[in-house]
Structure formats: C-alpha cells, structure tokens
Structure 1
Amino acid sequence: MDVQGHEKRQSYRMNVVFRADASLRIGSGHVMRCLTLAEELRRQGHSCEFVCRKHAGHLGEFIASRDFTCHLLANPEEPAAKPAQSYNAGYSDWLGVDWETDAEQTLAAISPRQVDWLVSDHYALDSRWEKRLATVARRLMVIDDLADRDHECDLLLDQNLGTQDSDYNHRVPARCSKLIGPRYALLRPEFPALREGALERRAKPSIKRILISLGGVDPDNVTAEVMRALTHSSLPVDTELDIVLGAAAPHLEEVRALAEELPLQATVSVSVSDMAERMCRADISVGAAGSTSWERCCLGLPAIMVILAENQRAIGNALAASGSAVLLDQDAITDQLGGILDELVRSDERLQRLADNAKTICDGLGTSRLVSEMVRISKS
C-alpha cells in the first residue's frame, strides 16, 4: 500500500449529515441507500450522522445499531409538529409536516455546527428546503429518482436506468454536478466483491431457488400474494423459496404462517444482513422495481419485477426494455406469475439472456465513484 497516499486521504475528513425517512408508507429504501453511502464514507475516514422523522416504521434504532448518530424529529402527532399544508404535491404527506417546520427542526438538530455535506433523500423536499439549510451546510447533495421538482444543490444523484442528464437541466443550478444512471448506484461493497462468482454460477441456468423480496415493510402484503400465486405453477415441490421481510413488516406473522402451508420449501428471514449472498444463491428473484434492482443486476440475477408504486414504473420499463427483467403489475400476480415462472423453467436460454443482460447494467462500484466526486467538489 502507498502509505503516504493513505495518510493523505485520511487527513482530509468531511462531516456529512443525511436527511432521509423510513415509514410504513415510504418503506426503507431511502434510508438504506443513504446508509450504504454513509458506511463507505466512514470507511474512507469521514464522519456521518442522520436526521430522520419518527414516523411509524422509522429506522432510528437500526441506524444507531450501525454506530451512526440518528437525530429523531418529532412525530407529526406530537405538539412540536404543525399540520401538513404547503409542500411538494404528490409526496407531501410523506414528510408529515410542512417543509418550513422540517427545515427548522433539521437546523436545530444540526446547529450550531457547520457540516461539509448535507445529503437529502426525500421526495417531499425541494429547493425551498435546501436553500434554508444552506446556512449550515457548505455543500448540498440530493438523491432523487423523479426529476419532478427544482433543487438547489451542488451534486445530484439519480441512479436510475433510462434517466437522462437533460432531465435535470432546468431543475438544478448550472454549477451542479449530475451523476446519472446505474453506474452510480449505491451498492454495499459485498455486491461487487461477489459479482465474479455470481456471474460464473449463472453459466448453468436453472430454477431451484427463488428469492422473494418485496421491500422491508410490504404494507399491502404483496409477499403473500406472490406465495399463493406460486401454488398455481408447476414448480417441483423441492423448489426453495427464500422469503425476506423487515422486522417492521405488518404482515410478517401471516407470511410465516403461509410459508408453513405451502407445498414448496419456504423459509422466511427477517432484516437480513446477507442479501448479497442470498442473491448469489438464488436462480431468480421476484422483487420490487426499486433500488434492489441494481443489486440484482450487479450479480446477474434474473428478475420478475413487480410494480408496487407508480414511481417504480420508469425503472421497471427501462429494465424490461433492456431485456434484464420480466415486468409484472401487482394486480396481475395471481393470474400471471405462475405461468411466467413455468415458461422460464422450460427455457434455460431465456433465463440465460435475462442474466446476461442484467450484468451489463451495473458493476456495483457506484458508491465509491460518488464518494470520490463528493471529495473532489468539497476540495474545489
């Protein structure tokens, strides 16, 4: 190792604060991808902390268990929170309060310190909030998927396939550096580390083990719909179902009970820390068209993607068009899922094509690329 270069990197330290929420409605994806970035920043010697609202299903304790400070803002039902009224239409109630209240509470959590980077990953926040927080942050970064509102930021990440740099031309300042596409997807280091072995395994396609992961919360219990639909397929009884949910999933016990009744070999795991290994062992995945799409692509895992929300449709359509996944609407699960799996079981060639196309989408190194850009901008 170049010791002098290592010491030089360690001597430059950034203080980074993340503003992201999880809840039974929002899900866990925003916080989880911010945690991925935070852990890579910490690995490179930088300090990170979180500001999250105390929604039902928040991940404050989980963040703390990863040894990050988490400042929990008041729950909307508590006196400190005003009624929601004047913020981004469409996702406004995801915040729980008006943007002005959120800005003031976030400022109070951070002040009187100045931070090098404030990272916002929240569909209900826009340039108004960002301008207010600029008083305590030297640089602002936005993680977005929608390109539907203005931002006042120095760096913008949209990791989604199909998004174009031009989608943000009139949404961000001219100075803003834009990182667009799955090349910058926020994946934990175990995914690129396991990529080579996973791709070798795909050389002999078959369906013996299916990973079912439809979000940590799955408030509509789509997991159970998928499990029941599989009983209408011709999968052999020794087919393994690896079902993953978060501890906050409201239908967890129902899923566990259903797993006991299925004619297939079903196991239910909660809040797993080995998702990369599970994806490596799986032959196909039934999952949501969200951030885990890039994890599957990195490991060449063929996927049947279920659209659970309209904000996932663009990702799903782009991956389906690339030949990396099969797309399925939630209301078509019962009628179509079994038939799709039966077709893939009969066609090793199609299963192989899905894997080959998926692996070209994402190499898993986006997190380190993003940190390098944050350091470059911070030093400039």
Structure 2
Amino acid sequence: MKLLVRADASVEIGMGHRVRCQALIHAFDELGWQCQFVVDRRYQAFASPEDCFIGGKSEEECKSEFLALAKQADVVVLDHYGYSAEEITELHQHQPNLLVLDDMNDRGDFSCKWLLNPLKETYSQRIECPLTGSSYALLRPTFQRLESSDSTPNQLLITLGGTDPLALTWPILDALESFGFPMQDIQVLLGANAKNADQVICFCKEKHIAVEQGITNVTPLMQRAKLAISAAGGTLFELACVGVPTLFAQVADNQTRSLEQHTPLGWCRSIRFDNVAESVRQQRIEALVKEASQRWLDKAWQERARKTARSLVDGNGAKRVAEKINSYFSAP
C-alpha cells in the first residue's frame, strides 16, 4: 500500500506540518505501508533526500504535479494551508482516499474521506469520516513510550518551535535575567533551523544555561520541566502529553484555535506575539517573563495543571489514525 504526504517546511511555514506528518508516516511504516513526502522544490533545504520534489517555480505548478501523483497512491495525506476548499475538493475527486489535516476550520466547505483535527471542531457532512479531538493528536513515537521519572521536575524549558520564526528565544532569556530569574534552572531547546541560534547558544554558554539544538528525542527534557515557555504548534500536544504546565507564546495565526480551546482548561496560559508590531513585542516579552516568575512559585497551580494536561493527550494519536485507515482497506 502506498501513502503520499503533501507537506512543506521552511522558516516561514515552520516545521510543525512535517513533524506531525513524520509521526503519521512512522505509524503507517509499522503497518507495512510504503510512505513518501511530496515537497515543493523551493523548500528542499528543509526536506529529506528521499522525498519526492515537485514544482519549484509556483504553487500552481506544484498543485498540478501533485494531482497527477495523487492518482497513483492508495491514500494521500494533505497538510497544507495553501489549498483552498475548492482545491481540496478537486483533489478528492481525483483521489477518493484523501486525508486532510486541519487546525483552523476556516477554509469553508470541502470534501474528503478523512479529516483530522486534534481540536474539537464540527465539519460538514461532506467529510466522510471526521477524526477530531486530542485523541488524534499526531505525536512522535517517543511519546507513546513515556517512562515514568522518579526525579522531581525542576527546570524552566524554553522552546519556541523548529524555526523560532519571530526570534523570541534570546530576548526572552535576556528578560528573564533582567527579572532576576535563576538562570541555572533554565533549559533551552532550539530547533535545527532556529533563527539567531548562534546568538542564543553564545548567550547560554556565557550565562551557563543548558542548551540543546536539533535533538530528535525531546521527552527527557520535557519530563524535567517544572514549567515551559513554548510556541503553541504541535509542541502544545507534546507538553500536554508529558504534563508540563506551560506559558505559550503564540507565534502564528494557525495556533489561535488550539489556544482558545486549551487555555480555559487551566493547564496553560498564552500571550500573542504574531499580530503585533516589533515595538510591542518587548512589552509582551516582559509580561510573559513576569507571569513565568509567578507561576514558577505556584506549586498548587502546577499540580492542577499537570493533572489536567496529562488527561488530554495519550501519545497514541498517530497509531490510532493509521490503524483506522488500514482497517478500511483490510475490511471484508
């Protein structure tokens, strides 16, 4: 059985689409499927040599080439905001076994066989099989095998996504130092393609702050976190799975819906950065750091937050999706 996944990654797009699709591919690999990414050639710096590259000049060129490839697969996964409702429906007409990954539910009415959204959203009846809610969050394989830790979490984890698109890591660290936060309690996690990584790493070495970049298994760092400052993409569901109370820095519009649904649950807080001018960001960084310092000492809130977060995500979402689709083909 052949699975094609249409997803891109870049500094502007971020790494979230690719990371969650990699989790899905791993689950299908375990079931014996042949899987491959289909990537816009303009973004091959963030891809793998094993990917199938298309287009290279325009989005329209990519869509035309992908339409031809989609017809040859058994299942197609589309995780791409560049597709309108009409284009998704057209793709579905050419490939009936289409799985669309969505976050915002803002593209209007379209059709597909499966629709995956880790948030609680309602879609039209043109979606044959909606897979919605946090039980379908696509987490990396290491989150399926979380081992309990005997040590007490004692670190502030700072992770602003695979690319840190707004370059917030360094100014947050600088503000934490100015606020008098204990720098020896901080753990910085940088994505492989994070903006200003050299500046951050240099600052961390100077201030004796623990820092890691581009590591594949992030669960040990999350398990040691008493509190996190994080971007609110797919990392939101990873932190929930581990049970880490978190202050989210919203760095993209597509993170709005997840924060609207998760913040009222009490395990996290959020401050928005993507819709304000650079001159305003420093004020919001200071507000974020002030909140972090307060929450760092609030043990009662931390305990409630950990319990709530763990109840939301079990780490088996990718396996759950792959088995459901695989059973569709194996059914008599």
- Same-fold call, TM > 0.5? yes
Structure 1 residue 333, shift from structure 2 partner? 3.7
Alignment of 1:18-97 (within 5 A): 18-56=5-43, 58-61=45-48, 64=49, 69-76=50-57, 81=58, 97=59
| Structure 2 portions without partners, runs of 5+ | 274-280
Structure 1 counterpart of 2:252, from 297, 309, 317 = 309
**Runs of 5+ in structure 1 lacking a partner?**
1-13, 82-96
In 1, Cα distance between equivalents of 2:259 and 2:305:
14
2:187 corresponds to: 242
Aligned length: 322
Q: How does 1:274-285 map to 2 (within 5 A)?
A: 274-285=217-228
Alpha-carbon distance in structure 2 between the residues aligned to 1:289 and 1:154: 28
CA contact (8 A) 1:185 1:367 kept: yes
How far apart in 2 are the matches of 1:146 and 1:329?
16
Residue among 246, 249, 252 paired with 2:197: 252
Residue in 1 that maps onto 2:66: 106
Could you tell me how far apart the structure 1 residues matched to 2:167 and 2:269 are?
21
Cα contact 1:54–1:75 (8 A) shared by 2:
yes
Which stretch has the larger CA shift, 307-316 or 30-39? 307-316
| 2:300 equivalent in structure 1 | 349
Does 2:104 match 1:146?
yes
Aligned to 1:271: 214
Tell me by how many angstroms 1:336 deviates: 1.5
Which runs of structure 1 show a deviation greater than 6 angstroms over 4 or more consecutive aligned residues?
Answer: none
Match of 2:276 in 1: none
SS at match of 2:97: strand
Kindly name which structure, 1 or 2, has the bigger radius of gyration based on alpha carbons: 1
Percent identity reads 27
User: How much does 1:340 deviate?
Assistant: 1.5
Which of these residues, 263, 269, 286, is aligned with residue 320 of structure 1? 263
RMSD of equivalent CA atoms: 2.2
Query: Which of 207, 217, 220 is equivalent to 2:163?
Result: 217
Could you tell me the TM-score, scaled by structure 2's length? 0.89
The separation in 1 between residues aligned to 2:211 and 2:72, in whole angstroms, is: 44
Could you say which structure has the greater relative contact order, defined with CA pairs below 8 angstroms and 6 or more residues apart?
2
Offset from partner CA, 1:194-243 (integer Å, 9 cap, x none): 1x515x65xx5x6x31211111111321111211121133333431x222
Would the aligned equivalents of 1:155 and 1:178 in 2 still touch at CA under 8 Å? Answer: yes
2:143 pairs with one of 182, 191, 211: 191
Quickly say closer, same or farther: Cα 1:222–1:124, change in 2 above 3 A.
Answer: same
Worse-matched range after superposition: 27-36 or 342-351:
342-351
Distance 1:139 1:56, change over 3 A: closer
- Contact 1:234–1:338 (CA under 8 A) maintained in structure 2: no
